[in-house]
Amino acid sequence: MKKCIVCGAKFFEKPLLEFDDMPRSAQNIPNESELNQDTGMTLRLYQCRGCGLVQFDCDPVNYYKDVIRSGGFTTTMVNLRKSQYSHLIEKYHLEKRKFLEVGCGQGEFLSILKEFPVEAYGIENKQELVDKAVSQGLNVFQGFVGDDKAVVQNGPYDVFLSFNFFEHQPDPNGMLQGIYNNLTDDGMGLITVPSLEYILEHNGYYELIHDHLVYYTFDTLRFVLEKNGFEVLEEEMINRDTLSMIVRKKAKINVLKIQDSYGQICKQVNDYVDGKRKEGKKVAFWGASHQGFTLAATAKLGGKIEYIIDSAPFKQGRFAPASHIPIISPEKAVSQMVDAIIIAAPGYTDEIAGIIQEKYGNEVEIAVMKTKELELYEDIKK
Ligand SMILES: [Zn+2]
């Protein structure tokens, strides 16, 4: 049994729908001499039980890489594109940026984009359509963005556009990965596909056609976009029957401060321990926790501090991983008392400080490892 083309999960066992005598395609329609070779086909519509995507289980039509727009230039469509372009460009300040229409046909929608203050480019698989677009003065390259290795000339681009092309694709992840790789780091996109919600609402089985391999909903379109590294900024139903989403590449999380804290904390702990050792004093840790282990190991405290105290019997008698500092019980520490204890157990500071003062007296200095720095317990309590 075939698997979901987006997430690889299995389909629900039975097809949602099955229709015989469906046309094999909506393009390349037969002439009189081809009629004896043209037959109908059975189409089975399945739903993925993982991501919920609704899709046919058959191969795509053989021209799925081409964008053949029969609709032409209706006033409604021209006005729709104009309002989409102006919203996108104004809201996200995309003036002077480089736009790429992926699957631009003969440049029907690119020619409208040319009226806006942006650089407009397109890529189209079918040479005949590329030639027509170029002859109208449009910047259109021949090619197909079908996988993560696709390189579009003149890239990277700031914005991609995809108008009712994505639903034809047998490898939606491949196309989105290819687009992703040809975009700048904060690259954006505008994508439209026919809406399954619309078909469900109008019960129109005749909306189903082999050319449209996949039937996206808001949920499943958002899912495939997010799966491929995009975040959906806006989503809406346009022209009654079409899903439209504005996306941007997800940003990398900024870990600069965590990286900085590594150097700072290691230095602080070492300065403190070294200072005590110069005075002939001994230092220990309290807390054989993952925080204590990491701190002791990365700050290279093995051999510099005496031991790590922990109340958990199953840790006592063992050694801290990587730093190999011995772990002992609070009772055992009494017989080999240190001069200072660093508490490395976030969340239990007060409780542990109380135990130290009670068991070992007020002579022992207590230091606390806070999120960003080492502080003396007496200073925190002031
Ligand atoms: Zn799926």
User: In 10 A of CB 290, how many CB atoms?
Assistant: 10
181 CA distance to ligand 1 centroid (A)?
23
Nearest one of 319, 316, 315 to 305, comparing CA atoms: 319
CB 244 within 8 A of CB 190: yes
Nearest one of 343, 379, 338, 332 to 361, comparing CA atoms: 338
The Cα–Cα gap between 82 and 88 comes to 10
213 CA distance to ligand 1 centroid (A)?
14
Taking only the tens of pLDDT, the chain with its 382 residues reads 689 999 999 999 999 999 988 888 888 889 999 999 888 889 999 999 999 999 999 999 999 999 988 766 788 999 999 999 999 999 999 999 999 999 999 999 999 999 999 999 999 999 999 999 999 999 999 999 999 999 999 999 999 999 999 999 999 999 999 999 999 999 999 999 999 999 999 888 888 899 999 999 999 999 999 999 999 999 999 999 999 999 999 999 999 988 888 899 999 999 999 999 999 999 999 999 999 999 999 999 999 999 999 999 999 999 999 999 999 999 999 999 999 999 988 788 999 999 999 999 989 999 998 877 899 998 887 7
- What's the CATH code, domain 256-381? 3.40.50.720
Question: What is the per-residue burial (b if ≥16 Cβ within 10 Å, else e) of 338-367?
Answer: bbbbbbbbeeebeebbeebeeebeeebbbb
Residue 204 structure tokens: 């129109």
User: In 10 A of CB 313, how many CB atoms?
Assistant: 8
pLDDT at 1: 64
Question: Coil, strand, or helix at residue 305?
Answer: coil
Sole residue written with tokens 């080492």: 374
pLDDT at 9: 97
Residue 201 structure tokens: 């609402």
pLDDT at 70: 74
235 CA distance to ligand 1 centroid (A)?
21
The secondary structure of 130-188 as a DSSP string is: HHHHHHTT-EEEE----STT---TT--EEEEEEES-GGG-S-HHHHHHHHHHTEEEEEE
47 CA distance to ligand 1 centroid (A)?
8
- 269 exposed, middle or buried (CB, 10 Å; 0-12, 13-18, 19+)? buried
241 CA distance to ligand 1 centroid (A)?
23
150 CA distance to ligand 1 centroid (A)?
24
Question: Coil, strand, or helix at residue 265?
Answer: helix
51 CA distance to ligand 1 centroid (A)?
4
- What's the CATH code, domain 61-249? 3.40.50.150
| pTM score | 0.84
189 CA distance to ligand 1 centroid (A)?
23
48 CA distance to ligand 1 centroid (A)?
5
Domain extents in the chain: 61-249, 256-381
The Cα–Cα gap between 336 and 283 comes to 11
Would 61-249 and 256-381 be classified into the same CATH topology?
yes
246 CA distance to ligand 1 centroid (A)?
22
Amino acid (1-letter code) at residue 269 = V
Q: % helix / strand / coil in the chain, to the nearest 5?
A: 30, 25, 45
54 CA distance to ligand 1 centroid (A)?
8
113 CA distance to ligand 1 centroid (A)?
34
